[in-house]
Every structure is written in structure tokens, then in C-alpha cells.
Structure 1
Amino acid sequence: MRKFKLFIDFDKEEQWLEEMASKGYQLDSTNFGYKFRLAEPKAKKIKIDFRKFRHSTDFWDYITLFEDSGWRHLAGSKYSGIQYFEKVDDRAIDDIFSDNDSKAKRYKRYAHSSLILAISNFPLLICLYFTGIIDPVYLIRPRELYLTPGLWDKSGTSFWFSFIFETPFALFRGAAWTFIPLSILSYLFFSYKANKRYIQSMIKK
């Protein structure tokens, strides 16, 4: 089973994943949404960290450290950032973080990573704009996305046939045009929300 949800609050995401586990859905991967496999319904403790790694050895040392502490790595890669862990040893403590400060800093790392992604996309946006691939005129006159000659001069059945036929292509061109700008705005939004969550977590210390 696969589910699509968006979380910026790691605590809420952990609670949701624990609820899914109690219903018999074990987190299997997060490559494209949340992929679950059927398992025995069981109360589980799931925790989330945010870390990226340049080297595979550092990533596996990180995973091994948690496994030695009684936590199994469920999902995440050295590039993905978000790492999911499940408590598998009853003798282990109920959290992967030693204190509130280190727990809050995962939001700071998430905010920084999202901001870097937003900034790194700006040169591409500027390049696409000056080459004419991205044109703000489509926001003002979306009919420019339709390339059928004389489309807007047609009427009746001829117009509707041409309009309906080309609409999927126009939507595709519009989606391609907005992908980079929307990506930048999304990353900036994630960075803002994660940084806000970091500040809130630090205040609660």
C-alpha cells in the first residue's frame, strides 16, 4: 500500500507512522510517497532524524551506531536527508536523541538543506527565463499555451474539438513552465516552516 502525505513537523509524522504500524502497516520505503507492507499490528516506537552524507562509509557508520543502540533503520539514504528508525530492542531508550537540543537541530539541518536547494535552483530559473523557455506572460495570458493556429477565432464544434484536443498539451507545457518556480517556492516554504519549528523547539527547552 502506498500513501501520499506531506509533513514538516517530524513529531506529527512519527505519530502517524506509529498509528499505521498499530494498524498492521510497516513502513517499507519513502522513495515515492510512503510505501507500507502488511505486518502484524503492533505498537512501535518510530523516530525521525535529518542528515545527509557525502560518503557512503559515513552513512553506514551512522546506521550502525543506531543499530548498536537498538534502533533499526527503516528508510532513507545518504542523500535523502530524512532518516527513519524503529526501536527493536526493549532495552533501548525510547528516543534516538540524547537531549532536546540535538532533537531540535534536525529542524535546523532540514531548514538549511531546503534553503540551499532553493538557492541552487535560481541560476537555472534565470537561465530558462533568458532563453525564453520560461515566460511570465503565461501567467497573464494562459491562452498563449495553446499553439493551434486560429484557435480563438473558431466557434462551435470546431472550437471545442480543437480546444479539448490541445488542452492536455497546454497543461503539460504549463506544468513544465511552472515546475522550477514552484520548486523554489516550495523549498523556501519548507525552509521557513522548519526554521520556525526549530525556534519553537528551542524555546520549549
Structure 2
Amino acid sequence: MRKFNFFLNFEKEENWLNQMAAEGFEFVGKSMGYRFRSAKPENSNIKIDYRTFKNHADFVDYCTLFEDYGWKHIAGTKSSGAQYLKKVRGDADNDIFSDADSKAGRYKRLSQMYIGIAACYLPIFAALIATGAIDAAFLFNPKKLYFTPGLWEKAGTDFWGSFLFETPFALFRAATWTLLPIMTILFFIFSYKADQHYKKIMR
């Protein structure tokens, strides 16, 4: 079973995954959504860390370290960022973090990731405008989205036929041209929210 969800709060995501386990759905991976399989309901303890690794050996050492302390790595890759760990030994600590600094650090790394992506998108968007690939004037004049010569001088059925024919293409252009700035704004917002979570824990 696959479920789609989005979280900027690791605690809420952990609670959701543990609730799914209590309902008989075991979390087995995350790729294009959360993947679950039917299992016996259990009171699981899943925790989430956020970090990437320069090489595979460092990633393996990270997973092995947690396994030694009674936590099984159940999802996440060397470069995915989010690492999902499940308590599998009764004598293991109930949390993977030993203090507030380490627990808050995952939000700081998440914030930096989002702002890094947003910072990459900005020059790309500027370059597309500078080269004419995107006509930013359409934001103030939607008629720029229509390329049919003389469209706005036509009248009657001639106008409506041309207008209705090109409107799907114009809407597609609008969606394509606004996707990059919208994503950039969203990533800045996500970065800000993650930073707020970091500051809240560090208070």
C-alpha cells in the first residue's frame, strides 16, 4: 500500500508512522510516497533523522552504529536526507537523540537543504527571463500567453474559435512559466518553517 503525505515537522511524521503501525500497516520505505505492508498491529517506535553522506561507507557506518544500539534503519539512502529508524531491541534507548542540540540539528540541516535548492532556482529563473524563454510580462498582461497573430483584433466566431483553440496551450504556458517561481517561493517557506522548528527546540 502506498500513501502520500507531506510533513515539515518530524515529530508529527513520526507519530503518523507509529499510528499506521498500530493500525496494522508497517512502514517499509519511502519512494514516491510512503510504502506500507499489512502486518500485525504493534506499538512501534520510529524516529527520523535528517542527514546526507559523502560516500556509501559513511552511510553504512551510520546504519551500523544505530543497529549496535538497538535501532534498525528501515528507510533512507545516502543522499535522501531523511533517515528512518525503528527501535528493535527492548533495552535500547527510546530516542535516537541524546540531547536537544542533536535533535534540533536535523531541522537546521533540513532548512539549509531547502534554502540551497531555492538559491539554485533563482539564477535559473533569471536566466530564462533574460533569454526570453519565459516572458515575465504575462504576469501583468495575460494576453502575452496567446501567440496567435492578430487574435485580439478578431471578432465573433472567428475570435472565439481561435481563442478557445489556443487557451489550453496558453494555460500550459502559464503553468510552465510559473512553476519555477512558485517552487522557489515554496522552498524558501519550507526553509523558514524548518528553521522555526529548530529555534523552538533550542529555546
Q: What's the TM-score, normalizing by structure 1? A: 0.88
Aligned length in residues:
202
Q: Aligned partners of 1:22, 1:168: CA distance in 2, in Å?
A: 46
Q: Which residue of 2 aligns with 1:186?
A: 186
Q: Which amino acid aligns with 2:124?
A: L
Q: Which residue of 2 aligns with 1:30?
A: 30
Query: Deviating runs (4+, > 6 A) in structure 1?
Result: none
- The answer to whether 1:97 aligns with 2:97 is yes
Contact 1:24/1:42 (<8 A) preserved: yes
Contiguous gaps of at least 5 residues in structure 2: none
Contiguous gaps of at least 5 residues in structure 1: none
Q: Which residue of 2 aligns with 1:116?
A: 116
Q: Which amino acid aligns with 1:159?
A: W
| Deviation readout 1:19-59 (Å, 9 max, x if unpaired) | 11111222232221222222222111110111011211111
Q: Aligned partners of 1:70, 1:64: CA distance in 2, in Å?
A: 10
1:175 Cα offset (Å): 2.2
Aligned to 1:86, what secondary structure does the other structure show? Answer: strand
**Identical-residue share of aligned pairs (%):** 48
Q: Aligned partners of 1:176, 1:100: CA distance in 2, in Å?
A: 42
Q: Which amino acid aligns with 1:173?
A: R
1:111 Cα offset (Å): 0.9
Aligned to 1:5, what secondary structure does the other structure show? Answer: coil
**CA spacing shift, 1:20–1:129, aligned 2, 3 Å:** same
Alignment of 1:37-76 (within 5 A): 37-76=37-76
1:180 Cα offset (Å): 1.7
**CA spacing shift, 1:92–1:154, aligned 2, 3 Å:** farther
**CA spacing shift, 1:170–1:76, aligned 2, 3 Å:** farther
Cα-Cα RMSD: 2.1
Q: Which residue of 2 aligns with 1:159?
A: 160
Contact 1:151/1:159 (<8 A) preserved: no
**CA spacing shift, 1:171–1:32, aligned 2, 3 Å:** farther
Q: Aligned partners of 2:155, 2:31: CA distance in 1, in Å?
A: 46
Aligned to 1:49, what secondary structure does the other structure show? Answer: strand
Q: Which residue of 1 aligns with 2:174?
A: 174
Q: Aligned partners of 2:162, 2:148: CA distance in 1, in Å?
A: 11
1:156 Cα offset (Å): 5.3
**CA spacing shift, 1:167–1:21, aligned 2, 3 Å:** farther
Contact 2:148/2:162 (<8 A) preserved: no
Q: Which amino acid aligns with 1:79?
A: S
Moved more, 14-23 or 70-79: 70-79
Q: Which residue of 1 aligns with 2:145?
A: 145
Q: Aligned partners of 2:52, 2:19: CA distance in 1, in Å?
A: 27
**CA spacing shift, 1:150–1:33, aligned 2, 3 Å:** farther
Q: Which amino acid aligns with 2:160?
A: F
**CA spacing shift, 1:161–1:25, aligned 2, 3 Å:** farther
Moved more, 120-129 or 146-155: 146-155
1:151 Cα offset (Å): 4.8
Contact 2:75/2:85 (<8 A) preserved: yes
Q: Which amino acid aligns with 1:5?
A: N
Contact 1:8/1:193 (<8 A) preserved: yes
**CA spacing shift, 1:148–1:3, aligned 2, 3 Å:** farther
1:138 Cα offset (Å): 2.1
